[in-house]
Structure 1
């Protein structure tokens, strides 16, 4: 992964990809560590990965990205699928990572965030902006940080509230039949450029879980509409627990016509 960005605050530690939280020796942590270290099935492609040969693309139910030409360069955008399949990228353990680097069209997130992103001061504190046009479907960056257990996330949430700190913890729930897969990421201290992306009730990006070499997904921001130069990168923070007291909520400053008034609040 190529990531040349850094934090605006030198007290923060930049990590381009997710890392595990501290080992609290709990059963919950041991299960998380086991899942983190598990390997997905790798493809053995010696030529360009195709739906016929590539196990990663097959697990995705077909191609994840489509290629197009812009400014004389080949670029890729996410394909909207009619059926619900996971997005599975080829990883560094796949044969194509050695044989086809960097030609494999199923390794987009793995290449790192796009160029031309800026951390800027705004009415929300800091925000992430783009210096150049971004086409709809383009991968922007990952929301990377520490992978937490639910217990650790709840502890940190309580501490953040007590000390008046901003809460960056993101909880993603994936539903498959009767089962629910929960991934919790906290970029508060260890994180990448994605920690500066603010909420909007009318966002220009959305979160897509992308798996690459591990069952635990990366939380990836893809543009859901064309984004103009100097526009702020935003995404919707997700489902809202409307039973939470208004005093526990943070006012939303997105300025969208459909603004709900408060940033979504959820429990872990």
Structure 2
């Protein structure tokens, strides 16, 4: 993975991909570790992956990305699917037999790493992530990487952050497959990548898409949902609200959008 970014705060540990939380020997952790270590998918393609031959693409029910030309280079963007259809995005990974690199396999976008031209800057929210060059809608920006937590550990970390007056960076993704719900919790509070600096907006220019590459646990990937201009802040919507009766749990939203809801989304773990 090509990720040459770093934190502006030397107290934080930069990681390029998710890592599993410390082992607390609980049954909940053991189940999470088993899922983390389980191989989700791999293909046996010997050359160019295509929807007719690649098991990863077939698991996605069709190609995930489409190629286009920009400034004389081949770029890739996410293919839009009709809503409310739900489908997994499965990328080729290091266990696949296909050739590595976009010159051959166009199903390795997230696997390559974040795009170039991202800049961490001070702003009215503390820090924010900004584009230094145009970003086309559908482009993969970066992963929201950090520690993969159990629900119990996430609740503990949330309570510590609240008690110590620290920002809460914990992201809880819920995927619904029929009557089943798969929950992935990522915490980049002290261990994470450039994605931790992306602020919430009620009118965002990016959104989170779960992408599986090697592991059953998805990567929380940030894709542009609009064209983004140079010096524009990169934002995504942190999620929908879980119910809470405690007003003190709410954090005021500073996005400034016309449709601002007033508070950041609140999550129960």
Q: Normalising by the residue count of structure 2, what TM-score does the alignment of the two structures yield?
A: 0.97
Residues matched between the structures, number: 267
Residue in 2 that maps onto 1:4: 4
SS of residue in 2 equivalent to 1:110: helix
Moved over 6 A (4+): none
- Identify unmatched segments of 5+ residues in structure 1: none
Residues 125-140 of structure 1: pairs in structure 2 closer than 5 A: 125-140=126-141
Q: Which residue of 2 aligns with 1:241?
A: 242
2:22 matches 1:22: yes
Unaligned runs of at least 5 residues, structure 2: none
Taking only aligned residues, the RMSD between alpha carbons, in angstroms, comes to 1.0
Give a deviation string over 1:110-144, Cα, whole Å, max 9, x none.
Answer: 00000000000000000000100000000000000
The within-5 A match list for 1:161-176 is 161-176=162-177
What's the secondary structure of 1:119's corresponding residue? strand
How much does 1:97 deviate? 4.0
- 2:233 equivalent to 1:232: yes
Q: Give the alignment of 1:104-183 within 5 angstroms.
A: 104-183=105-184
> Which whole-Å deviations, capped at 9, do the CAs of 1:145-186 have from their partners, x for residues lacking one?
000000000000011101101110000000000000000000
Indicate the residue corresponding to 2:264 in structure 1. Answer: 263
- How far did residue 245 of structure 1 move? 2.2
Name the residue aligned to 1:71. 71
2:44 maps to which residue?
A: 44
Query: Structure 1, residues 78-125: CA drift from partner, whole Å, max 9, x if none?
Result: 011123210000001101145x66521000000000000000000000
- Are 2:76 and 1:89 aligned? no
- Say if 1:101 and 1:258 are closer, same or farther in 2 by CA, change over 3 A: closer
Other-structure match for 2:58: 58
